[in-house]
Chains A and B, each alone.
Chain A
Amino acid sequence: MRRLARVASLAALAALALLGGCGKPQFSDAEKKTIASLALNTLPALKADTTNQYADVPAAAAFGSTLFFDVGMSRHGPMSCSTCHKIDRQFQDDLPQAVGVGRTNRRTMPLAGVARDPWFFWDGRRDSLWSQALTPLENPLEQAGNRAAFAHYIKNRFGERYERIFGPLPDLSTVPANASPLGTDAEKAAWSAMPARQQDDVNRVFANIGKAIAAFERSIEPQQARFDRFAIDLATGTKPQGDAAFSPEEVLGLKLFIGKANCVTCHNGPRFTDNSFHNTGVPPVNGLPPDRGRVDAVAQVQADPFNCFGKFRDGDASACRELRFMVKDGEQLVRAYKTPSLRGVADRPPYMHAGQFSSLDEVVAHYSKAPASIEGVSEVHPLDLSDRERAALVAFLKTMSE
């Protein structure tokens, strides 16, 4: 009897300790599984991009890097991709909205792991990395160039290098200095006056610019963060040492992230994104043009001559399933924006598609409160997190950095 009593009281203590959470284990098996699924070591190898036959050609990547940083790749004065995608700033610019030749209406996206995205820009208005790269080149608020001028520029400045990768340049002697279907009225008129074959020639050179830049961008991959060191130690049963050890506040934040706060619903996998589009009730910015997100991007990607169905795609159309099975309408696309990766997030305020929030505290407060969307329906619901819980989430988000 006495022995039974002793065993029972020990069991009572053990059960109370387990329920009280004051002993080990710190995480349930289900939590451990989720945490392991977020670690960078589960990131699969980068898949081939059959729509870009130069995607993994080193000379194309090197040429793409030259173009990415070449401040001649703009109509007005020194400006390149790297003006907004700054190499020492996670390839973003710290501004609420990108500023090229003019001020745009969207936040510059960081580029780590960008080659893994199925859709590009905050609203997914392009369906390949190479077709994305072409868009700012001709946007009057960004690099503000036109494809005829870019073709001439490539021939004059990089002709030999281009031809070693892509083969002979077309005859551009009768191509106007400035022409594009998307440019000024004069450029549009010049473009319309060009024979179809000449338009194709220029489009081909333009597409190859994008393919070279994309080949370079494929090398920009996410780096291991404190979170990964913690997660890998947890998965292997090693006691995290040094900066891999989490404070009680960071542990609470992680538990909230994968639990009560539901962040991991959309911010899932080793890049912390589901690669999809959601309306989360983020407010519009006063003074910017109306912005309806994904719902307006559908027609744009369908109309893009450089999309996967277009004639500038390499390989066959089996690579076009994202575009083929794209959701084309419905309320859920209204003010829906891409789930951004959270890697390195603490080091790059401001946040959201137009830099609406200047700190992670504001972001977490937004999701805790979950206000209704001004248009469409927000998918998030109020969490009513305490001050302590919100601070813990922010503390956890900071572990996504070095």
Chain B
Amino acid sequence: MLRASRDVISRRGTGLASIWRYILAGLGLAALLVGILAVVYLTAPHSALGPDTSRSKKTASGLFVASFEPERGVIRQGELQSWLLTLKTAAGAPVEGAAITVSGGMPQHNHGLPTSPQATDYLGEGRYRIDGVKFTMSGWWQLRFAISAAAGSDSVVFNIVL
């Protein structure tokens, strides 16, 4: 009798202890999950959640396909750089003799570009040098090109995230 009751108590005790263990394990796993999510969220590149940063796209009305790349391959913050804007028709033919104007700024900072980039040279095969591009701070920049050529006028916006 005595022995049996002791057994019951001890078994009940074991039962309670394992419930606590499960609760603790559950809490631990939940906290770990929160921790991992927080680390992933905090270290994820914001461009992943931000604007479309593709370097090649159709212009707004689909007249041209435009690509925009830094001429020397890398973006260096705070330096005046030249970029190349390549224009093709939807059929893939290079667009020659285009008149191009450049505008832009930082949509989240309420300011325009720190310089006035211009199309300075035509390099053949639909490639135009856009000189005087400078990104003075990190964040989301927009460059908008208004393009006028024989096929008509169209525009395109490129997003650049530093």
* Cross-chain contact B28 with A327 (CB below 8 angstroms): no
Known: A18-B35, A321-B80. A275 touches B24 (CB 8 A): no
Q: Is the interface of A mostly helix, strand, loop or mixed?
A: helix
Which A residue sits closest to B113, measured CB to CB? A327
B115 contact from A8, A268, A327, Cβ within 8 A: A327
Interface residue range, chain A: 35 or more
Which A residue sits closest to B21, measured CB to CB? A5
B132 within 8 Å of A (CB atoms): yes
Bound form: Cα–Cα A9–B27 in Å: 8
What's the nearest-Cβ distance from chain B to residue A364, in Å?
A: 20
What's the nearest-Cβ distance from chain B to residue A63, in Å?
A: 31
Which B41-82 residues have a C-beta within 8 angstroms of A?
42-43, 77-78, 80
What's the nearest-Cβ distance from chain B to residue A312, in Å?
A: 22
B10 within 8 Å of A (CB atoms): no
A4 contact from B25, B77, B113, Cβ within 8 A: B25
- Known: A325-B117, A379-B109; 6 extra A-B contacts, CB below 8 A, are A7-B28, A8-B28, A265-B139, A266-B136, A274-B137, A327-B114
Interface flags for A252-293 (1: CB within 8 Å of B; 0: not) read 000000000000011011000011111000000000000000
Give every chain B residue within 8 A of A7 (Cβ-Cβ): 28
What's the nearest-Cβ distance from chain B to residue A4, in Å?
A: 6
Bound form: Cα–Cα A332–B111 in Å: 7
A76 within 8 Å of B (CB atoms): no
Interface flags for A16-57 (1: CB within 8 Å of B; 0: not) read 101100000000111000000000000000000000000000
* Cross-chain contact A275 with B136 (CB below 8 angstroms): yes
Known: A19-B35, A268-B137, A325-B132. A11 touches B28 (CB 8 A): yes
A330 within 8 Å of B (CB atoms): yes
Give every chain B residue within 8 A of A12 (Cβ-Cβ): 24, 27-32
| Residue among B80, B115, B117 with most chain A CB within 10 A | B115
Give every chain B residue within 8 A of A274 (Cβ-Cβ): 78, 114, 136-137
Give every chain A residue within 8 A of B114 (Cβ-Cβ): 274, 276-277, 327
What's the nearest-Cβ distance from chain B to residue A235, in Å?
A: 18
Bound form: Cα–Cα A65–B112 in Å: 39
18 pairs from A and B in contact (CB 8 Å cutoff)? A1-B21, A5-B21, A8-B28, A11-B31, A30-B42, A268-B136, A268-B137, A275-B78, A324-B132, A325-B116, A325-B117, A325-B134, A326-B116, A327-B113, A327-B114, A332-B112, A377-B110, A379-B111
* Cross-chain contact A8 with B116 (CB below 8 angstroms): no
Bound form: Cα–Cα A268–B139 in Å: 12
A14 within 8 Å of B (CB atoms): yes
A328 within 8 Å of B (CB atoms): yes
Known: A8-B32, A15-B31, A265-B109. A325 touches B137 (CB 8 A): no
Bound form: Cα–Cα A330–B109 in Å: 16
Bound form: Cα–Cα A214–B91 in Å: 55
* Cross-chain contact B21 with A2 (CB below 8 angstroms): yes
Bound form: Cα–Cα A99–B132 in Å: 37
Bound form: Cα–Cα A379–B22 in Å: 54
Bound form: Cα–Cα A375–B68 in Å: 36
Interchain residue pairs A-B with the least CB separation, the first 3: A325-B132, A8-B28, A15-B35
Give every chain B residue within 8 A of A29 (Cβ-Cβ): 43
A185 within 8 Å of B (CB atoms): no
Give every chain A residue within 8 A of B27 (Cβ-Cβ): 8-9, 12
* Cross-chain contact A321 with B131 (CB below 8 angstroms): yes
Bound form: Cα–Cα A370–B32 in Å: 40
A163 within 8 Å of B (CB atoms): no
| Residue among B25, B38, B43 with most chain A CB within 10 A | B25
Give every chain B residue within 8 A of A377 (Cβ-Cβ): 110
* Cross-chain contact B25 with A9 (CB below 8 angstroms): yes
Known: A29-B43, A326-B116. A5 touches B137 (CB 8 A): no
* Cross-chain contact A322 with B80 (CB below 8 angstroms): yes
Bound form: Cα–Cα A10–B134 in Å: 49
What's the nearest-Cβ distance from chain A to residue B31, in Å?
A: 4
Known: A377-B110, A379-B109. A325 touches B115 (CB 8 A): yes
Interface flags for B110-130 (1: CB within 8 Å of A; 0: not) read 111111111000000000000
Bound form: Cα–Cα A332–B136 in Å: 15
Give every chain A residue within 8 A of B109 (Cβ-Cβ): 265, 379
* Cross-chain contact A1 with B35 (CB below 8 angstroms): no
* Cross-chain contact A19 with B38 (CB below 8 angstroms): yes
What's the nearest-Cβ distance from chain A to residue B23, in Å?
A: 9
Bound form: Cα–Cα A306–B161 in Å: 37
Which B residue sits closest to A18, measured CB to CB? B35
* Cross-chain contact B25 with A8 (CB below 8 angstroms): yes
Interface flags for A136-150 (1: CB within 8 Å of B; 0: not) read 000000000000000
Known: A5-B25, A8-B24. A266 touches B137 (CB 8 A): yes
* Cross-chain contact B136 with A325 (CB below 8 angstroms): no
A9 contact from B24, B43, B110, B139, Cβ within 8 A: B24
